[in-house]
Amino acid sequence: MSELADTGVDATRQENVTRILDTAERLFRHYGYSKTNVADIARDLEMSPANIYRFFASKTEIHQALCARMLAASYQQAFETSRLPLSASERLRRYAQGQHKMTVETMLDEKKVHEMVVVAIERDWHVIEKHIDRMDGLLAEIIRDGIKAGEFADQDPEKAARCFGASIVTLCHPQIVAQCLAKENRATPEELIEFAIRALKK
């Protein structure tokens, strides 16, 4: 009985956390991260700031949770792509295309969202570093499959994964994407992806 009660408490808590994060993200997108405070989030949810602080100690904690949620969505998309029954080259192609699309749509759809992402990069770099390591791990698995299948040249999969990730960073790094998106003298996403895949075959 107590276990069922605990499950109910956990579910209610998670529901409140999700509501707070959804509202915070919407307000950050609309007004900007720096112009939104905990009181604004509480007011929109029709609850007191003290109630927000039961779940998050500060606005920074809310922001960190949103950052973690974005990165988790990015990793999940990459993980699903890595498991597709396709050639290694096609999985890498879809991986890069998917990460670029997510960066543009999720992180750069408004200037105010970009502000939130920049704050995360500057303040929570260790979290992003861990995310990069996990993504490189997925890339290494795909490249290892490609080597075994004879698609790619025999090479160190971990090192190749880091190089592949670095070669498409202009497609996935929010600040770089924001700077390059409208520039005509930059390689297109398709050109960069094909160049990076060809490099693995030599």
Q: What is the mean pLDDT of residues 9-28?
A: 88
Same domain as 136, residue 175 = yes
Q: Which pLDDT value is given to residue 107?
A: 62
Q: Which pLDDT value is given to residue 20?
A: 95
Domain range holding 76? 66-201
Strands (DSSP E) contained in the chain are none
Q: How far is CA 118 from the centre of its chain?
A: 13
Same domain as 180, residue 163 = yes
Name which of 186, 16, 193 is nearest 91 in CA terms: 193
The dihedrals phi and psi of 26, each to the nearest 5 degrees, come to: -65, -45
Q: What is the mean pLDDT of residues 155-166?
A: 97
CATH number at residue 11: 1.10.10.60
Same domain as 17, residue 96 = no
Q: Are 27 and 34 in contact (CB under 8 A)?
A: no
Q: How far is CA 76 from the centre of its chain?
A: 9
Q: Is the pLDDT of residue 163 over 50?
A: yes
Counts for the chain of helices (H) and strands (E), in that order: 11, 0
Average pLDDT over the chain reads 86
Q: Which pLDDT value is given to residue 1?
A: 47
Q: Which residue has the higher pLDDT, 141 or 127?
A: 141
Same domain as 27, residue 9 = yes
Same domain as 53, residue 70 = no
Q: Which pLDDT value is given to residue 147?
A: 98
Q: Please count the structural domains in the chain.
A: 2
Same domain as 22, residue 42 = yes
Q: Which residue has the higher pLDDT, 112 or 51?
A: 51
Same domain as 116, residue 29 = no
* Candidate from 49-58, 106-115, 181-190 with smallest mean pLDDT: 106-115
pLDDT digits (tens, 9 = 90+) for 25-62: 889 888 888 889 999 999 999 999 999 999 999 998 99
Q: Which pLDDT value is given to residue 188?
A: 87
Same domain as 86, residue 166 = yes
Name which of 145, 59, 21 is nearest 95 in CA terms: 145
Q: Which residue has the higher pLDDT, 190 or 184?
A: 190
Q: Which residue has the higher pLDDT, 125 or 81?
A: 81
Same domain as 52, residue 6 = yes
- As a whole number of angstroms, the distance between CA 52 and CA 194 comes to 47
Share of the chain above pLDDT 70, in %: 85
Q: What is the mean pLDDT of residues 69-93?
A: 94
Q: Which pLDDT value is given to residue 87?
A: 98
Give the end of a domain, one of 15, 35, 57.
Answer: 57
Q: Is the pLDDT of residue 144 over 80?
A: yes
CATH number at residue 84: 1.10.357.10
Q: Which pLDDT value is given to residue 197?
A: 97
- As a whole number of angstroms, the distance between CA 107 and CA 169 comes to 15
Same domain as 181, residue 164 = yes
Same domain as 151, residue 82 = yes
The two three-digit tokens of residue 48, written as one number: 């007191």
The two three-digit tokens of residue 9, written as one number: 């408490």
Same domain as 34, residue 82 = no
Give the end of a domain, one of 31, 57, 83.
Answer: 57
User: What b-and-e string marks burial along 115-152, b requiring 16 or more CB atoms within 10 Å of the CB?
Assistant: bbbebbeeebeeebeebbeebbbbbbbbbbbbbeeebb
